[in-house]
Structure 1
């Protein structure tokens, strides 16, 4: 009887001990994998769907027509940068790249274009990295909604139908060294977003505002170039924001020299008329 019990315990230990080892060491799968598009998978979407958390997808140069949904912490990057790796929305009603409920994803080195939503859209996602991307000819270049503690660096978000970068209900994000120029409405727009660092960006040549803060508090707005917009930096119902060393120059200052030249010519013409009339009166 004792032998039977001992054998049964040994069998159970054979199954229990490996499970305990996995729990203690955290080794539940092999090391993170790196896959390539189009070598490993023909499309970016397929590669993303088949990866596991922690994996890296490297996309080779080319033009891709896709909408990519990221729902796990992976690194997605191009091999040769945004000018060589262009992703156009196959369905304009969706973002080109959408990161949904993810902590710790990265998107690096793509051009994202052709979306009526956004080139890159973070929804309820935290601690993600967007870097070296070019988001052009979308509704919004880059949009964050309810997304905190993300890093947006060295992206270009220009020539979009509304804004270059739009944040709503998004806090504690780092927005540094980006370009948000020549958008149809605004360059950078913070809506109900607090404690963000907006530093050393360019928000110029936008048709309306360079940088807008709407019901957004305790943000740091430092060292930005906000040149030749209709309005430079606009705050509405926003308090305790730190504003230092920003360069602002609205379109008014481009028109002003022309106005002054016109006034100078007009004054010269009036003076000449007056002097001519005086001279004639003296010689009558």
Structure 2
């Protein structure tokens, strides 16, 4: 049993390639055939990685670390994250979790000409691992597991136009925007990851980040058994439908779980949030033009519909923000209402200013059999 996150040592008979410190992960990806497995051996690798084909990329947990390239790329203007947060002050980077390897003299070899545009986009975004398909040809069945991405100016892992992407046992930390993020994608699985000290969300799933529009169907994406701490928001799901968020541990963030919609059609929602432990998310994050300050927020729904929140343990989320409290149905700044949501069988204790709150003009929302002490309006406990 290898150290780190408990990954088994890869078999020498496994199909594919091994990458050792000083080698290029990107070279191995470029030359891999669809379906190959690339095993990244313990060490520190200074590069961006672009994946545009079906393959498995696996490492040794905390012992396999991908960090920003030593040779800086030309900076580009960052994409300003929309609700629920704008970029705040970057988190100071701590020491690497593995002994530093000698940085490569040259940056990693660029991708093949057919993917060079997407490679440039990934590199300029200063993201650790990019998984990039197209609208005409989504990339299918990419599996990333048991490695660490740390200290990138934008994202740890970013995916666009993917189907059945799996991200498992990954540590994504100290990145300037999102820890693990996905847009325009379906059937993603995000399981047993650690996302910590990222400036925005630890885990972020959206329809698209560069324009407004109605919610898209994720066809059953799953966010399961992740540990999210020290981020602005632990998990954000924005303008999407048909997914589940369960069994996660969220603590020490400014906010736990945010479900964000707008006035577009179809509306965001049709999801299940259950069996999560959401305790003491009391870090303070300054607000922006779309949302107020965030502190002490357990679960927040804004512009959501037909979402079930059940069997969660939500305690000690305390703050003085309009978003503070245990479970909050928040009035949307763009006029979208929370409708037909069900909040039931949750333990919601010691949250302030209230354990449960229902704001705005939405209809059909039900609060049933929750164990709590205070609510706004009164009478929901």
Taking structure 1 as the reference length, the TM-score comes to 0.74
**Structure 1 residue 128 displacement after superposition:** 1.4
Higher relative contact order, chain-length normalized (CA < 8 Å, sep 6+): 2
Structure possessing the higher radius of gyration over alpha carbons: 1
Tell me the residue number matched to 1:17: none
Tell me the residue number matched to 1:104: 141
Tell me the residue number matched to 1:36: 18
CA distance in structure 1 between the aligned counterparts of 2:24 and 2:311, rounded to whole angstroms: 45
Q: Secondary structure at the match of 1:83?
A: helix
Query: Does the alignment pair 1:211 with 2:263?
Result: no
CA distance in structure 2 between the aligned counterparts of 1:189 and 1:108, rounded to whole angstroms: 21
Q: Is the helix fraction higher in 1 or 2?
A: 1
Equivalent pairs counted in the alignment come to: 221
CA distance in structure 2 between the aligned counterparts of 1:255 and 1:140, rounded to whole angstroms: 27
CA distance in structure 2 between the aligned counterparts of 1:214 and 1:77, rounded to whole angstroms: 32
CA distance in structure 2 between the aligned counterparts of 1:125 and 1:45, rounded to whole angstroms: 19
Q: How does 1:10-159 map to 2 (within 5 A)?
A: 33-38=15-20, 42-78=23-59, 81-90=60-69, 93-101=125-133, 102-138=139-175, 139-159=177-197
Q: How does 1:159-170 map to 2 (within 5 A)?
A: 159-169=197-207
Structure 2 unmatched runs, 5+: 1-13, 74-123, 134-138, 208-215, 262-267, 282-295, 319-349, 354-381
Taking structure 2 as the reference length, the TM-score comes to 0.55
CA distance in structure 2 between the aligned counterparts of 1:198 and 1:214, rounded to whole angstroms: 14
CA distance in structure 2 between the aligned counterparts of 1:210 and 1:33, rounded to whole angstroms: 40
Q: Secondary structure at the match of 1:115?
A: coil
**Structure 1 residue 254 displacement after superposition:** 8.1
CA contact (8 A) 1:38 1:60 kept: yes
Q: Secondary structure at the match of 2:227?
A: coil
CA distance in structure 2 between the aligned counterparts of 1:250 and 1:186, rounded to whole angstroms: 16
CA distance in structure 1 between the aligned counterparts of 2:222 and 2:68, rounded to whole angstroms: 27
Q: Secondary structure at the match of 1:87?
A: strand
Query: Does the alignment pair 1:238 with 2:304?
Result: yes
Runs of 4 or more, structure 1, over 4 Å off, are none
Higher alpha-carbon deviation: 43-52 or 161-170: 161-170
CA distance in structure 1 between the aligned counterparts of 2:15 and 2:169, rounded to whole angstroms: 23
CA distance in structure 2 between the aligned counterparts of 1:201 and 1:251, rounded to whole angstroms: 16
Higher alpha-carbon deviation: 112-121 or 85-94: 85-94
